Amino acid sequence: MKSILATAASLLPLFYSSTYARPQTTTASTACNNSPSLCSRPYFNVTYLGAHDSPFVSNSSNSYDISGNQYFNTTMQLNAGVRLLQAQIQRLNSSDSSSALHLCHSSCQLYDAGTITNWLSEVNTWMGNNPNEVVTILLVNGPGATASELGPLFTNSSITQYSYTPTSATPSTWPTLQEMITANTRLVTFIASLDSNTGAEFLLNEWNYIWENNYDVSAASNFTCTPSRPSSVAGSFSTAQSSGRMFLMNHFLYQNQLFGIQSPDVENAGSTNSPDTTTVGALGYSANQCQSQYGAAPNFVLVDWFNVGPTIETVDSLNQISDATGRTSVTTANLKIESDGSSQSGAYRIERSGVVLMMGAAVAFFMLCM
């Protein structure tokens, strides 16, 4: 049992983090990214479901680590339809600029998901087994690693065999998913940020290609679609639109703890990730709002606990597809909350008992009707 202080200390870096996440079947030859309707769409005209902090998995094997943002590992995410994998790079020893780069949540003392090459190898294996899928990776470059340091970590995993390199920093056209699949250049890799990609041209500086809304939100009523980064498009949908960048919509909540500390808000994941289009704070509501304010659907929808909602429902709706195929279904349960009654707040327990009461009432009503 950790002391309150130790818990507070382990949470502290989460606050800084926010400154900143199947075998081939016969249908695989006709569907692109799980739908035949998406094959003819250019890469920039598709909405991709993104797993925020993809490798930072919180499940029963690590007692639902408080620094985790997803319940399922990267392979399971991909199997279930996630097509943007977001993560953070940190140095094992943050005060030593020659120390190895790992995938860590804020700090490698807090959550170390291992080497970049190892994780990329996992994605490489999946891409080999799923030749009709286009995948995007977005790595937050905490320590400001250079392309010459990052490039070999990618090459060593062999994943660069799939890398796509656009012909210009703000391409006016992108290939269709089918064209990327046919050419087998079906991995797009963004780094936030990268001053120069000389020597590793497949590493793309995120801010040349993508704009984002605010990500640091801790109240359901505070989600906004307004461009926030990069600064050149901040505040203006029309500037963002005419810049040719794609739209990454952040939609996850932080929870404010004592002492200004923030952690992912797991208790509200059900409402945050809901496809409901009528409730403020729900993914479905925000997605509709963003599409109408921007004039196009977001290209990437980045969420915590992607299985809850389920968030893929909102993404299918933005893509206007109803023919999705080849996905592995995963539980939509908010696993930590359902498994760990002791971590629930009083308010949550009241809410739960409210649900139980309502269910009891529904059963009673049902029995009355019989």
Ligand X SMILES: *[C@@H]1O[C@H](CO)[C@@H](O)[C@H](O)[C@H]1NC(C)=O
In the complex with ligand X, the residue whose CB is nearer, 26 or 295, is 295
Among 25, 30, 40, 62, binds ligand X (CB under 6 A): 62
- By CB under 6 A, residue 146 contacts ligand X: no
- Which of 7, 18, 27, 45: binder of ligand X (CB under 6 A)? 45
Per CB under 6 A, does 214 bind ligand X? Answer: no
296 binds ligand X (CB under 6 A): yes
Of 238 and 370, nearer to ligand X (C-beta) is 238
Selected range binding ligand X among 44-52, 86-94, 281-289, 346-354, rule: CB under 6 A: 44-52
- Residue of 76, 134, 249, 253 that binds ligand X (CB under 6 A): 76
* Residue ranges in 299-338 that form contacts with ligand X under rule CB under 6 A: 299
| 98 touches ligand X (CB under 6 A) | no
Residue (179 or 365) nearer to ligand X, CB: 179
Member of 17, 35, 47, 262 binding ligand X (CB under 6 A): 47
Q: How far is the CB of 65 from ligand X (least distance, A)?
A: 7
- 53/122 with CB nearer ligand X: 122
75 binds ligand X (CB under 6 A): yes
Q: Is 330 left (phi over 0), alpha (psi -120 to 50) or beta?
A: beta
Q: From the list 61, 168, 278, 322, which residue makes contact with ligand X (rule: CB under 6 A)? A: 61
Q: What 3 state SS string does the chain have?
A: CCCHHHHHHHHHHHHHHCCCCCCCCHHHHCCECCEHHHCCCEHHHCCEEEECCCCCECCHHHCCCCCCCECCCHHHHHHHCCCEEEEEEEECCCCCCCCCEEEECCCCCCCEEEEHHHHHHHHHHHHHHCCCCCEEEEEEECCCCCHHHHHHHHHCCCHHHHECCCCCCCCCCCCEHHHHHHHCCCEEEEEECCCCCCCCCCEEEHHHHEEEECCCCCCHHHCCCCEEECHHHCCCHHHHHHCCCEEEEECCCEEECHHHCEEECCCCHHHHCCCCCCCCCCHHHHHHHHHHHHCCCCCEEEECCCCCCCHHHHHHHHCCCCCCCCCCCCCCCCHHHHHCHHHCCHHHHHHHHHHHHHHHHHHHHHHHHC
Binding residue for ligand X, selected from 152, 166, 171, 270, defined by CB under 6 A: 152
**Number of residues in contact with ligand X, rule: CB under 6 A?**
22
Q: Which of 29, 97, 222, 292 binds ligand X (CB under 6 A)?
A: 222
Which CB, 53 or 358, lies closer to ligand X? 53
Binding site for ligand X (CB under 6 A): 45-47, 57, 59, 61-62, 72-73, 75-76, 117, 122, 152-153, 156, 218-219, 222, 296-297, 299
